[in-house]
Amino acid sequence: MNKQLLTNYDPEIQAAITRELSRQESGLELIPSENFVSIAVLEALGSVLTNKYSEGYPGRRYYGGCEFIDQVEQIAIDRAKQLFGAEHANVQPLSGAPANIAAYFALMEPGDTILGMDLSHGGHLTHGHPVTSIAKVFNFIRYKTDSEGKIDLDNLRQMAREHKPKVILVGYSAYSREIDYASVQKIADEVGAITMADIAHIAGLIAGKQMNNPVPIFDVVTTTTHKTLRGPRGGMILCKEKYAKAIDKAVFPGLQGGPHENNIAGKAIAFKEALEPGFIEYAKQIKLNAKVLERKFKAFGGYDIQFGGTDNHLLLVDVTPLGLTGKIAEKALDVAGITLNKNMIPDDPRSPMDPSGIRFGTPALTTRGMKEAEMEIVADLMHEAMTNHNDEAKLKNVRQQVNALTSKFPLYPELA
């Protein structure tokens, strides 16, 4: 076996990794679903745990030699349960979409109806968009937000009574408001539906006690472990004990084989970090920073902030009143060293690849230590770049200002 270090054995890959590190360090990362993990999480991801097959669950493996793997996974499970107040946790899903799909198969039979949020109103592809394969298996009915950008609970109740879903699903990827889980549970009780929440985007804000926690209320809750939770890329399912066996069986052997235990170790570390008192302050700062961006973009004029504002970490903004599209804005901001994503707005007349809006948020910049004063600067730089999207010289100037700002907030000083 070649024992050379990566820098010697494969300089091409090492060079690409180095350039990516430089990009992350020198730019402003505003994609709401991205964040920066700790050095400890990076160490776990690159550990010898990646060598081990461990199909099954702690104490119930199909392979030998899993005694230490069992310790790692059980620690992750116990910390997840403590963090969210869960009766049961499955930490094996490879990401958010597989977690959702496993939950569907655990709770429903093919052809059953699930009531979920429309993609253009902030939902997720796996919540039943017709382009997904899972939409061919289950009958997805999609609800929308009202004219004020809120989930209309009266309409949700009416739809639930009409369609009699097996599952009512709440959660989102681009919605910026809080959810009244107790009221949704009441509607589900009225029609005999199972409740499921996808908290992938806001798990860190829930863990940091800054948003409502559906775990003690709902039957099943799925999440990613990255995004606001600031862990490795992966998924997790939390549920009531009555659904534990069905959930575990749906994950393995239903949909997945051997779990990625190096990733599960990273999850365990992230859960430990989220259980520390400082994580509450981090979650508070994420929301404070998002509110600065909301205020600034309202003051600029010309931007149509969807859902009326934000209660969490992100903003969805229609840029077409400025004569832009989401695609044009994203490209101009990329040139300026500011990364976000183009995104559809509710009932967007434009296509997903060239939509009307942009989506941006504050978790990653908050991880770097930026606070309200920096958000003021970030908003000004974003506005300058978008209003000068055709001027390369001005975009280059914005890039220089971005570099000057990020240099004050080193990402991984340990790797310098």
Catalytic residue, chosen from 29, 118, 198, 374, is: 198
**Catalytic residue check, 53:** yes
Reduced to 3 states (helix: H, G, I; strand: E, B; else coil), residue 345 is: coil
**Catalytic residue check, 55:** yes
Catalytic residue, chosen from 177, 233, 287, 359, is: 233
Please count the other Cβ atoms lying within 10 Å of the Cβ belonging to residue 120.
21
**Angle, CA of 295, 299 and 301, to the nearest 5°:** 130
Catalytic residue, chosen from 10, 43, 52, 53, is: 53
Catalytic residue, chosen from 195, 222, 223, 224, is: 224
Quickly list DSSP for 351-397: BTTB-SEEEEESHHHHHTT--HHHHHHHHHHHHHHHHTTT-HHHHHH
Decide if 122 contacts 172 (C-beta within 8 A): yes
Closest to 27 in 3D by CA, of 416, 368, 376: 368
Catalytic residue, chosen from 43, 55, 180, 354, is: 55
**Catalytic residue check, 186:** no
Closest to 340 in 3D by CA, of 400, 406, 385, 274: 385
Closest to 76 in 3D by CA, of 90, 57, 55, 95: 90
* Dist CA 149 CA 107 (whole Å): 30
Catalytic residue, chosen from 227, 267, 287, 359, is: 227
93 exposed, middle or buried (CB, 10 Å; 0-12, 13-18, 19+)? buried
Handedness of CA 10, 15, 20, 21 (dihedral sign): positive
Contacts 24+ apart (CB under 8 A), 161-164: 161/190, 161/191, 163/113, 163/115, 164/113, 164/191, 164/192, 164/193
**Catalytic residue check, 50:** no
Catalytic annotation, residues: 53, 55, 198, 224, 227, 233
